[in-house]
Amino acid sequence: MGCSLVAALAISSTAAAQNRNRPPARALDEAEVSQGREIYNRSCTTCHGLDGTEGDRAPALGATRRYLRTSDEALFDAIKNGIGGTLMPPSTMPAAEVRKVVAYIQSLRATASEAVVKGDGAQGAEIFWGKGECGKCHMIGGRGDILGPDLSNIGGERRLSFLRDLLIKERQRIPRGYHPVRVKTRDGVTLEGIVKNENNFSLQLLDMDRKVRLFTRDELAEVTYATRSLMPSNYDQRLTETELQNLLAFLSRQARSKEPR
């Protein structure tokens, strides 16, 4: 009973902390965010840094850390009235401008599904399943393939900047469970696929025929790890800038309904 209660309290505490540090799930107004960015970069960068990056005298306000103040009301109060016992002074900005700064700060912390994203999501869906060939590796809503991560909730889990970088930049780190590899057994059989699990004694491979194979290390003569992810950077120029933006709009909308808090 005691252990169960402690575990339940730990889970509850963790969930509460996550909710406190998560920006509100609301649609952000593009014009308000844009105006808020201009005001922020004009008035707040001396301490907090340009565009929400780390400043000289105060922390970054973007998505790089956890915060005590996450609601619009709490942020408005901190900006307008200052924070006692700290270097954060009251602001002389009109209330309307403070609200715009709040909207901008929330946009820095929002997941992709909560951000304002330009582009045609319907066209992006066609690119995902067609020209972009994303569905040959990824799955959305039970449709697609399993070589890459399931993207059914990617917009609800990741920031917009993460999705944008995913599409246009080569990944420096290959996610665990998706590292391409070529193995050669001591029987002379060569297979390619991705490493799902491995340790000092065994290796679990998902081969290109989507079959899971388990080898002991003694069964393998060679194991060659790829240096690049299967995810193409900038789609090897296959997609235009407009197509990439439409694809980004489509991915940003992939979010499961959130549980009531």
Partnered with residue 143 across adjacent β-strands are: 140
| pLDDT of 257 strictly over 80 | no
Give pLDDT, residue 18: 43
Pick the more confident residue, 49 or 128: 128
| pLDDT of 25 strictly over 50 | no
Give pLDDT, residue 10: 40
- Mean pLDDT on 171-188: 91
- Mean pLDDT on 200-209: 96
Give pLDDT, residue 23: 44
Give pLDDT, residue 211: 95
In this prediction, residue 66 has a pLDDT band, given cuts at 50, 70 and 90, of low
In this prediction, residue 201 has a pLDDT band, given cuts at 50, 70 and 90, of very high
Q: Are 196 and 205 in contact (CB under 8 A)?
A: yes
Give pLDDT, residue 234: 59
Give pLDDT, residue 258: 54
Q: What is the pTM of this model?
A: 0.65
Q: Please report, for the chain, the start and end positions of each structural domain, with discontinuous segments joined by +.
A: 21-110, 121-171+232-252, 179-225
In this prediction, residue 255 has a pLDDT band, given cuts at 50, 70 and 90, of very high
| pLDDT of 17 strictly over 60 | no
Partnered with residue 183 across adjacent β-strands are: 191, 223
Give pLDDT, residue 52: 66
Measured distance CA(114)–CA(119) in Å, rounded: 15
In this prediction, residue 16 has a pLDDT band, given cuts at 50, 70 and 90, of very low
Dihedral sign (CA 173, 175, 178, 182): positive
Architecture of domain 21-110: Orthogonal Bundle (1.10)
Say which CATH class 179-225 falls into: mainly beta
Mean confidence (pLDDT) of the chain:
82
Measured distance CA(30)–CA(73) in Å, rounded: 20
Provide, rounded to the nearest whole percent, the portion of the chain with pLDDT above 70.
Answer: 81
Contacts of 154 by beta carbon, 8 Å cutoff, 6+ apart? 112, 163, 251, 254, 255
The residue type at 142: G
Identical fold, 121-171+232-252 and 179-225: no
- Mean pLDDT on 198-218: 95
| pLDDT of 3 strictly over 70 | no
| pLDDT of 181 strictly over 50 | yes
Domain 121-171+232-252: which topology?
Answer: Cytochrome Bc1 Complex; Chain D, domain 2 (1.10.760)
- Mean pLDDT on 72-98: 88
